[in-house]
Structure 1
Amino acid sequence: MVKKSILVVMTSLYNGGAERSLVNLLNEFDTENYEIDLMVFVREGMFESQIPPKINFLNTPSEIQALYTPKLVKMHFKEKIVRLVGTGIAKIFSKTYSERGAKRWKWFYKNIVAENQKKYDVALAFLNDDVMYYIVDKVCADKKIAWVHNDYKKNELDKDIDLPYFRKLDYVATISDECVNILKEVFVEFPEKFICIPNITSSQVIKNRSEEFYPEEYRGKRNILLSIGRLGYQKGFDIAIEAATLLLKRGIDFKWYIIGDGEWEEKLNTLIKEKQLEQNLFLLGIKSNPYPYIKNCDVFVQTSRYEGKSVVIDEAKILAKPIVITNYPTVHDQIQNNEGMIVDITAEGISEGIIMMLEQKEIYNKFLSHIDYGNTQDIMKLYNIIEH
């Protein structure tokens, strides 16, 4: 039987839930029946080393490197001018980051990036940004699919930008049933295009990696809280800092660690100092293996303002950790029954939830430990879309 050829395109493998989800997907992909090419626009990031050898990691075309990774390559003069002028002009005429990226591609980058010369059976864009524009405009494939990894309404995404590209896709995949419903509400023109393919998580891989070491930061500490996510508005770590202040006022002895980086790092460090939390709340940066941190914390805390479906919450459930999570619109797709404590998106709600969970953590830990939250079988949903 001839293998079907699949092109997967991603912006980077630096850090984040979508990136981790892609790595998990590629590690589970059936390469006996599918030939997988992977193109990554920005060739750097800690997840590159986790791409399995069975995946054909393509060399990124030079013009894409020049446009998206100027620090790593010697740019030709034309690409340098296009990048500087394109980014500047698109920024002037755009209200949001997504609009700026779309206009930069449409007005400038589209004319520089060459068409992909290989014909594919299926092309997958694992985000709905430039990689989606690329597979629509520059790739010849019988079937094209793009992913939306977040609550479309909450993530400053623009229907007018995405509509013409979504029209040219065969499917738009997203990661939860609620995210599908939101997309159907926004894009009433073609509700049949939207499908749910959950983030793929392997419980055995996560459990094995969680045993690799014990975090030095945890030694001798009690009431260890952990959060993981990009340091930005979405993840609500400014609210976490306010919640930590309330915990101190209540006399709670705790250490709260946050794994991640992002544009709010300086802002959050300033807030930590202003609130005199230097001995209680710590920004750890990026960790190539966060699973020992999850396994050995007392409570996992998610303070997000919105999400699609959080990869790290699935991982915390696999490791049977008590979870305190904010009541964002799609949370009930992920937390049901006794799987965690859902609280208001406020410092008061989060701090009260943490106090209650610290008192009841053994109950939640015992409940979660009897359930296998791995879902590698969900890859069959993608195979079904590819084949039919």
Structure 2
Amino acid sequence: MDGTAYDGPRRRESDGETGRLRIAVCAYLWNWGGSDIASIRIARLLQAQGHDVTLLVPDSGSLVEAMIPEGLETFRFGADNRFARLCGAFRLTAADRTPLLRVARKILHLCSGRRRYLPYDYAVRHLTGLPEREFDVVLDTEGYGHVNTALCARLACARRATWVHSVELDWMKGAYPYLRDFDRIYCVSETVRRGFDARYPELSDRTQVLYNPVDEAEIRDLALRPPTLYDPAGDGLLRIITVSRLSWEKNLGAVIDIATRLRARGLRFRWDILGDGEERETLRRRIAQEGLDDVCMLRGTTPNPFPYVRAADLYVQTSIREGYGLGVQEARILGVPCVVSDIAAFREQIRDGETGYLCADVDAFVERMAELAAHPERRRAMSERLGREPAVDDASQRRLLSFVNGEEHDER
């Protein structure tokens, strides 16, 4: 990456010599979040098509090495000074976030507009550790909110696309100046696409839905493998599971409220929470304060959550917002009834009363979960319905592959 100022996208002609394309996948990979997993699955999908895939990830935090498929070349890029790291939203220690640097970044932020975002412009000029090559295709699989989108707009390629995973579009303010340089703007659900098009109608002709790529056969195979994290057997308990990043938008405090009230009703259950994140310590303290240590278990992360999901009686997700909800999709594949918050992304996945329940508040969660605990035949009926309906939309993956291969495909 040279030191010149950002002046628009760098283009190259794709030679397509043998059909084997050079593709850069720019991801984040800080934990086992849904967008991280989806990014890796995209890379694997493209590898399986015979393409030469390079993974670009920031050097911040502890990269989960187990997420990276064998044979996938990976570059961990950084920046050559603290101010560039701050501008690019890399992780920094508190000592590195000096008042002077924060004020300087704030000035650049305030001087930015819809055509330029000066903090990212500065950060891109100071990135290090990037490959010195051109690509046929560049995919920014989760870059909004930090410098990845600006980087992908700068890399020389024939085609580029970005992938929006969140309904919270305030994250896009810094990325917006670069979006005009992308040929495709993928949205992880119809919910996200509708919100994006309403906010940025001038870009709506570039949007398409790209659902999380999921291999149903692989998930079912992984679900049959022996569990290694804990024994998922319930010993007569109602087995509840949540697989989630432990962050505020997942609203996991509601889990503790629900669990407290279920126990007050005399329900015998165990609630396993798989995942990690910044809310872990807060949740641990609340679980201890409520005396729920014997029923609410923070299990941490695992590369294979599927044996535990398969063994559960209920899958529960209390999120206040989701782009789509990968954990819910995977539970559906395994035939586990889902009790989830009544938000637009989950309405795309769950038929209320048929394959699960949509719940408006804690009261609704408590009532629906207690009902399903008392009526196992209703859980079985939901599971049977899930087994008969598709959980994966292959058409969106075909649209992605069509774009990667340079074929026109305007179906939305």
Which bracket does the TM-score occupy, shorter chain normalised? 0.7 to 0.9
Mapped partners of 1:124, 1:354: distance in 2: 40
CA 1:33/1:327 → structure 2, altered by over 3 Å: closer, same or farther? same
* Residue 330 of structure 1, CA deviation: 2.3
Query: Residue 51 of structure 2 corresponds to which residue in structure 1?
Result: 34
Query: Residue 384 of structure 1 corresponds to which residue in structure 2?
Result: 402
Shifted more, 364-373 versus 351-360: the winner is: 364-373
Report the residue type matching 1:302 in the other structure.
Answer: Q
> What do the CA deviations read for 1:145-194 (whole angstroms, capped 9, x no partner)?
111111134xx4254x2321111221211111121110000002221121
Report the residue type matching 1:285 in the other structure.
Answer: G
Mapped partners of 2:218, 2:100: distance in 1: 45
Q: Contact 2:338/2:350 (CA < 8 Å) preserved in 1? A: no
Query: Residue 372 of structure 2 corresponds to which residue in structure 1?
Result: 357
CA 1:226/1:117 → structure 2, altered by over 3 Å: closer, same or farther? same
> What do the CA deviations read for 1:18-65 (whole angstroms, capped 9, x no partner)?
11112222222255553211112238443x33433453x133346479
Query: Residue 17 of structure 1 corresponds to which residue in structure 2?
Result: 34
Out of 68, 71, 91, the position equivalent to 1:51 is 68
Secondary structure of the residue that 2:273 maps to in structure 1?
strand
* Residue 368 of structure 1, CA deviation: 1.6
* Residue 136 of structure 1, CA deviation: 1.3
Secondary structure of the residue that 2:384 maps to in structure 1?
helix
Out of 104, 107, 111, the position equivalent to 2:125 is 111
Q: Contact 1:301/1:324 (CA < 8 Å) preserved in 2? A: yes
Query: Residue 334 of structure 2 corresponds to which residue in structure 1?
Result: 319
Q: Contact 1:197/1:378 (CA < 8 Å) preserved in 2? A: yes
CA 1:89/1:219 → structure 2, altered by over 3 Å: closer, same or farther? farther
CA 1:28/1:259 → structure 2, altered by over 3 Å: closer, same or farther? same
> What do the CA deviations read for 1:272-294 (whole angstroms, capped 9, x no partner)?
22222222212111122111110
Out of 175, 187, 190, the position equivalent to 1:162 is 175
Query: Residue 114 of structure 2 corresponds to which residue in structure 1?
Result: none
Gaps of 5+ in 1: 72-79, 96-101
Mapped partners of 1:282, 1:384: distance in 2: 43
Report the residue type matching 1:370 in the other structure.
Answer: R
Q: How does 1:245-324 map to 2 (within 5 A)?
A: 245-324=260-339
Mapped partners of 1:64, 1:377: distance in 2: 42
Output the aligned Cα RMSD: 2.9
Out of 373, 378, 386, the position equivalent to 1:368 is 386
Q: How does 1:218-229 map to 2 (within 5 A)?
A: 218-229=233-244
Query: Residue 187 of structure 2 corresponds to which residue in structure 1?
Result: 174
CA 1:110/1:22 → structure 2, altered by over 3 Å: closer, same or farther? closer
Residue 165 of structure 2 is aligned to residue 149 of structure 1: yes
Q: How does 1:203-222 map to 2 (within 5 A)?
A: 203-214=216-227, 215-216=230-231, 218-222=233-237
* Residue 237 of structure 1, CA deviation: 0.7
Q: Contact 2:150/2:175 (CA < 8 Å) preserved in 1? A: no
Mapped partners of 2:225, 2:371: distance in 1: 30
**How many equivalent pairs are there?**
366
Mapped partners of 2:133, 2:303: distance in 1: 34
Task: Using structure 1 for the length normalisation, give the TM-score.
Answer: 0.85
Shifted more, 167-176 versus 59-68: the winner is: 59-68
* Residue 89 of structure 1, CA deviation: 4.4
Secondary structure of the residue that 1:365 maps to in structure 2?
helix
Query: Residue 206 of structure 2 corresponds to which residue in structure 1?
Result: 193
Q: Which has a greater percent of helix?
A: 1
Task: Using structure 2 for the length normalisation, give the TM-score.
Answer: 0.80
Mapped partners of 2:91, 2:45: distance in 1: 29
Mapped partners of 1:276, 1:243: distance in 2: 13
Query: Residue 98 of structure 1 corresponds to which residue in structure 2?
Result: none
